[in-house]
């Protein structure tokens, strides 16, 4: 990621409850030009749900174990239709319904063999460019 250039970060935990996503959140949330897109269910009481519901300031545990206040100035949005538990048929049906038609699909989460098979099936059935990225592989989107 280069400073000042557009980028997309795909990160877990989906509810902003722990892990590397909190570091991304700390750096993304204060800036108006950014957006946080929630694509999974946010359980009531989680940080993700509070942010999605419009909270403008939250406290999180910082790097050094101290509480930090993070202002949320970026836009937030919820995109329905994704599930962390969709099966092959549900994912294929989702791709078929998308409009405008996709130009490229990145399969970025799941068991290696199943993800590779999904990528190949999408390419074969829908005649789309697909890719299954390797761990820490950089991909140019534009």
Q: pLDDT tens for residues 72-84?
A: 999 999 887 666 6
Q: Say what the pLDDT of residue 11 is.
A: 74
**Partner residues linked to 57 by β-bridges:** 71
Could you give the CA distance from residue 1 to residue 99 in angstroms, rounded to a whole number? 29
Could you give the CA distance from residue 120 to residue 103 in angstroms, rounded to a whole number? 15
Mean pLDDT across the chain, nearest whole number?
87
Which residues fall within 8 angstroms of residue 42, CB to CB, at 6 or more apart?
Answer: 14, 15, 48, 49, 52
Task: Give per-residue pLDDT as tens, 106-136.
Answer: 998 778 888 899 999 999 999 999 999 887 8
**Is-above-0.75 flag for pTM?**
no
Q: Tell which wins on pLDDT, 141 or 70.
A: 70
pLDDT over 60 at 33, yes or no: yes
């Amino acid at each position: 990621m280069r400073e000042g250039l557009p980028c997309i970060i795909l990160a877990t935990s989906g509810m902003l409850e722990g892990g590397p996503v909190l570091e991304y959140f700390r750096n993304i949330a204060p800036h108006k030009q950014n957006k946080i897109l929630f694509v999974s269910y946010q359980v009531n009481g989680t940080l993700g749900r509070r942010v999605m519901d419009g909270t403008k300031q939250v406290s999180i545990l910082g790097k050094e174990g101290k509480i930090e206040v993070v202002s949320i100035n970026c836009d937030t949005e919820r995109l329905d239709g994704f599930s962390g538990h969709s099966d092959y048929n549900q994912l294929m049906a989702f791709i078929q319904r998308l409009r405008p038609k996709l130009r490229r699909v990145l399969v970025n989460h799941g068991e290696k063999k199943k993800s590779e098979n999904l990528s190949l099936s999408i390419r074969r059935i829908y005649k789309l460019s697909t890719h299954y990225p390797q761990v820490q592989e950089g991909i140019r989107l534009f």
